[in-house]
Each structure stands twice: as structure tokens, then as C-alpha cells.
A and B are shown apart, each in its own frame.
Chain A
Amino acid sequence: MAGLTAASSIADALKTQAMSGVSEAIFRNQEVMGRFTRVPFTGGANLNVKLNYGGNTSVATYSEGDAAGVPGSQSYLTANFGAQYYKMGIQITGHARDQLRNGSPGAAFYNQIELEFTSGMKDLTDKISTDMLGTGLTPPVGIQGIVDSSGTLGGIAPGTYTWWAAYEAAGAATTIAISDLDGATQNSRDAEYAADITEIWVSWKQQNKLKGVIGNPGVANNSVQIQTGQNINLTGTSQPITYDGLPIIPIRDLTNSIVLGLSMPELFLGVMRDYQVDPLGKTDDSDKFLVTCAFGLGTKNRKKHWKITTLTA
């Protein structure tokens, strides 16, 4: 074919084309760590929480003339929460730095060198966040391990110390029901647990299940309502719903089989080492960096939270 055609003739002259920037085709969870109050470690391997679990044993009624009796005292125990160290290595060779013109936009569609750091930090945060949503009882401690009726946490076993356990119940069925939330709430709010739940965490699927419960005519759901914001969109994916005034928050990466009632002021994110980037010594033409951090999830009071389990549908 004669002449200049796009089909065959311009390939040699055309620069490789791409839209600027990079689209992330990978999900990195950045939504968990920021939900917890950060508390710095104050020295030593553990962040200690002092627990007052027994009151003054001399409290009693008395009659006229009775002896004063033996004074009592409070009882205390200490929970130890450690941290988990995380690391990430980054290497940029001299050849890569030269050919990318050190990230110059004239040479590359995106600053690959800078992205190695920013995206790598996201990877690190994703790993930490996933661990924090997990079942760990020792570092890395996960929220499912904290909110549980069994298992030694912070060095304290609920088998020995029966007050160191969250309220936990299996769902009445494999599908979440309002009665499950009612049961967990009434039990955890009363004197034994005395919990002040501030948030309910669910998977996206469970959140939509709860929306479905709201939408079913004839279902008793007085305690659940869609927040009356400017717009209510039952088919939307991010409209907040509440249970008894508590926000039901969908959390990505949280297992579908549970619903968590959390007292957020009782949870903390211990910061042993915040994100730290250190250049490593030269051993060749590359620039190498080590990114490290150390965090640990913990609770000041385990029984201030609740969990509904075995939800599979």
C-alpha cells in the first residue's frame, strides 16, 4: 500500500504513548490503622495497661458497736501489649536512575522512583492493616483476637481471670438478624460488661444484609434506622446505617463471618516505631533503602467489646 497510513507506516515515528500517572489495579487496605488512637510506647518491649479488677474487700454494712474490721484494698493486674516490627526493602540501580532521568517527567510517564516509595508504603500499611483485622493474640495482635471470649491476650488468660473476656455469641442463624445485635447489645451494656459500644464493624456483605433486614416489611426493626441525612439511597454502597444510634461501618478485608461491637476509646494502636526510611550502605551502584516500623494493637479493657460469630450466609 502506498502513502502514509496509520496501519503500517507511522510506528517508527510514534513515541510510546500512555496517559500520565498509574492506575492502581491492586487493593491496598489503608482504612484500618487510622481508626485507632495512636499511643507511643514509653520504653521497654511492652505497652502496659494497669487493670483494676477487684474492689475494696472491706466494704460492708455494720451495726452499732461493731469493730472496724480489717481494711481492704483494690486489686490490680497488668496486661502487656507488644509490637510487631515490619520492614520493606527498596533498591534503585544506577542504570534505572539514569534511564529514568531520576524521575524526570520528560523521560517517564510517571515517577517510578517516587512511586516505589509511596506504593511500597501502601503495601506496608496494607500488611499491617490486614494483621490488625486478624485473629492474632500475640503480636501482630488482631481485632478478632482482642474481641473474643477466650485466648490469652496481653499475658492474661480469661480462664484464670474471667473478667478478661469479650462478650461473644454465635448468630441465631447463619444470616445476621436484628435479634443478634439486640442480644449482644443488651448483654454488653448491662452491669457485668458495662460496655459503651461506639461502633459496629461489619463486612460489606453483612452491611448489605442489615440493609436488607431494614427493607423487609413486617420485620421488627425499631432499633435500626437509616440515618436521615440529606439523601437516603438504599441501593447505594456507602450510605451510613445505624443500630441504636451506633454507626454500622463496613470494613474491607474484615471476614464476613463476624460482626464486631467496638468501644473505640478502649482500643489503641501502640507505636513503637513510626514509619522510618533509612538509606543502606553502598555495596554496588544501587541506592538501597530500608523502611521499617513497629506497631501493636491493644485494648485497655477486653470486655468492653462484643462479637457475633458463625455468620456464613
Chain B
Amino acid sequence: MDISHAQNATTEEKRRDAIAVMVDTALQRGDFTYTEALLLPEPFRSHVFEHLDGVRLQGGVPQYGAAQVYEMPPVRLLAVNPRHDIQYSEWHQTRIPGTQQQAPREKRIVKLGSDATVRDMPGERLPRRILRQHGWPNRNVASNGNNIGTVVEWRWLELAVNSPDATDEIRELHAALKARIDAKDGTADTKPTTRSKSAPPTQAQL
């Protein structure tokens, strides 16, 4: 995505408009990816998501649902390491059996397996959240290499490997993941499972 128009915009409103046009154009071409959006510098990254989430600012305060909210297609995510699970945390609250009392809310880990096609529901935007926290290569870039992303957006990788400036690293990663996809032949298990307390994930899996 080319942000030069947005960079040259003379007002904040025009900058947002330029980003909106850029996003819509990429969506129409079919080459919009969250990875590329997450690699954009601020404030452009936030403007992209504001546009997709239908956010307008009123006195500097985000107003959700003020504009069209984009229904995005499911996003296929792959763990770089096939032995690792794509995972995220969510709040859980359960009723204590045999009572009307609620147990305190606590965080639990949800595993999606190493190959998951994740729905991108407005309000939740789970693929975006997973990539923001664990995406490759945006985690590497954002953290100056202190953190290495563990999850790849397959659509982005397909586009990246076909671009003229694709690196050997990209080609190797694409080849490895393509082989995994072909081997599984669409049998990827995307059913969420709650983390078992007896089998916690390693730090590297997160």
C-alpha cells in the first residue's frame, strides 16, 4: 500500500481520506493484508483500522459505528513453527457448580492449531489481534528484533513471495509453509480448544 498521498496530505482530515482511498483500492485489487497494515507507521496504521472499523473522531474521541464497518473475509494464519500453536488469550468466567456464585474472571489461552482460518468479526478482529501480538514480520520490525513473530498471514506471504523484491528468507518460509499446506490438504483443524492446565504452552509458542 502506497501511503505517499497520505503523507502529502495538508490536513488530518485529508490524510484520513487518502488512507481510506488507499485501503478501498487495495481491497478492490485483492491485495489488502493486515500484515502490511501493521507494518505502516503511526498514524497511518491507526487510520487504516479506523476506516475498516467505521470510526470517526469527535473532539478527539473515537466514535465507533459512525461510518461503514467493513466485513472482512476470514484470514488464514500459519504458525512459523509447525509444532507451535497459534493462540490468544480470552477472559473466562464460570459459575461455580452447584451454586449461583460466579468464579472470578480469569485469562485463559485458546489454541487454534498451527494452521487456522480465523473469522474477522467486527468488534473482535481476532486475526488482527493475533498478528499484532505474534505476527511475522511485524513483531520483528516493531520490536527491532527483540521479539520474533511466530504467526504468518498466508495471503500476505503469497503476495510477498511473488513481489520482485522477495528475499530468500521469504521464499524459504513460503516454500516450507506451502509444503505443509499441501501435505495437510485442507484438513487443518481450526476448532478452538481451551488450554489444558497440564500441558501449558512454552514461551516460544506465544
Which residues of chain A have C-beta atoms less than 8 A from B62's C-beta?
77, 155-157, 160-161
Question: Taking CB as reference atom, which chain B residue is nearest A189?
Answer: B146
Within 8 A of B (CB), among A151-173: 155-163, 165, 168-173
Taking a contact as CB atoms under 8 Å apart, the answer to whether B61 and A186 are in contact is no
Q: Are A161 and B202 in contact (CB under 8 A)?
A: no
Give chain B interface residues in 89-107, CB to chain A under 8 Å: 89-91, 104-107
Chain B minimum-CB-distance residue to A175: B200
Which residue in B46, B61, B105, B107 is a CB contact (below 8 Å) of A53? Answer: B46
Contact of A54 among B9, B43, B57, B144 (CB under 8 A): B43
Closest Cβ–Cβ distance, residue A29 to chain B (whole Å): 14
Q: Is the CB of A190 within 8 A of B146?
A: yes
Identify which of B75-83, B127-135, B153-161, B178-186 touches chain A. B127-135
Take A159-B125, A258-B107 as given contacts and tell me if A168 and B89 are in contact as well, using a CB distance cutoff of 8 Å: yes
**Residues of chain A with a CB closer than 8 A to B59's CB:** 78
Q: Find out whether the CB atom of B143 lies under 8 angstroms from the CB atom of A187.
A: yes
A160-B69 Cα distance, complex, nearest whole Å: 12
CB within 8 Å of B: which A169-216 residues: 169-174, 179-180, 183, 186-187, 190-192
Q: Nearest residue in B to A165 (C-beta to C-beta)? A: B132
**A309 lies within 8 A of chain B by Cβ:** yes
B197 neighbours in A (Cβ, 8 Å): 174, 312
Q: How far is the CA of A258 from the CA of B189 in the complex (A)?
A: 30
Please name all residues of chain B whose beta carbon is closer than 8 Å to the beta carbon of A144 when the two chains form the complex: 105
Partner of A70, one of B8, B12, B142: B8
Nearest chain A CB to B83's CB is how many angstroms away?
16
A187 touches B53 (CB 8 A): no
What is the CB-to-nearest-CB distance from B112 to chain A, in angstroms, rounded to a whole number? 14
Chain B residues near A135 (CB-CB < 8 A): 91, 104-105
Residues of A within 8 A of B44 (CB): 57
A222 part of interface (Cβ distance < 8 Å): no
Q: Compute the total of residue contacts between A and B using a CB distance below 8 Å.
A: 134
The 0/1 profile, CB within 8 Å of A marked 1, for residues 51-70 of chain B is 00101010111101000000
Instruction: Give the docked Cα–Cα distance between A172 and B202 (Å).
Output: 5
Bound-complex Cα distance A163 to B41 (A) = 11
Interface size class of B (residues with CB under 8 A): 35 or more
The docked-state distance in angstroms from the alpha carbon of A168 to that of B129 is 12
From known contacts A155-B61, A156-B62, infer whether A186 and B106 are also in contact, taking CB-CB under 8 Å: no
A165 CA to B88 CA in the complex, in Å? 14
Cα A232 to Cα B108 with chains together (Å): 36
Which one of A55, A58, A158 lies within 8 Å of B42 (CB-CB)?
Answer: A55
Q: Among A53, A58, A165, A310, point to the contact of B109 (Cβ < 8 A).
A: A310
Chain A contacts for B104, CB-based, 8 A: 134-135, 255
Interface majority SS (helix, strand, loop, mixed), chain A: loop
A70 in contact with B46 given A310-B109, A312-B197 (CB within 8 Å) = no
Task: Give the interface centre of A158, A159, A186 by most chain B CB atoms within 10 Å.
Answer: A159
Tell me if A62 counts as interface (CB < 8 A to partner B).
Answer: no
CB of A76 within 8 Å of the partner chain: yes
Contact with A along B172-206 (1 / 0, CB 8 A): 00000000000000000000000101001111001
The verdict on A75 contacting chain B, using a C-beta distance below 8 Å, is: yes
| A160/B53 contact (C-beta < 8 A), A70-B9, A155-B61, A186-B146 known | yes
Which residue, B44, B53, B107, has most C-beta atoms of chain A within 10 A?
A: B107
Q: Can you name 17 A-B residue pairings with CB atoms under 8 Å?
A: A54-B42, A57-B6, A135-B105, A159-B123, A160-B46, A160-B53, A162-B132, A163-B42, A170-B109, A170-B195, A170-B201, A172-B203, A174-B197, A180-B203, A187-B146, A191-B143, A310-B109
Binding site for A on B (CB under 8 A): 6-10, 12, 15, 38, 41-46, 49-50, 53, 55, 57, 59-62, 64, 89-91, 104-109, 123-125, 128-129, 132-133, 142-144, 146-147, 195, 197, 200-203, 206
User: Which 4 pairs from chain A and chain B are nearest by CB?
Assistant: A54-B43, A75-B43, A78-B60, A309-B107
Q: Which A residues contact B (CB, under 8 angstroms)?
A: 50, 53-55, 57-58, 69-70, 72-73, 75-78, 80, 134-135, 144, 149-150, 155-163, 165, 168-174, 179-180, 183, 186-187, 190-192, 255, 257-258, 309-310, 312
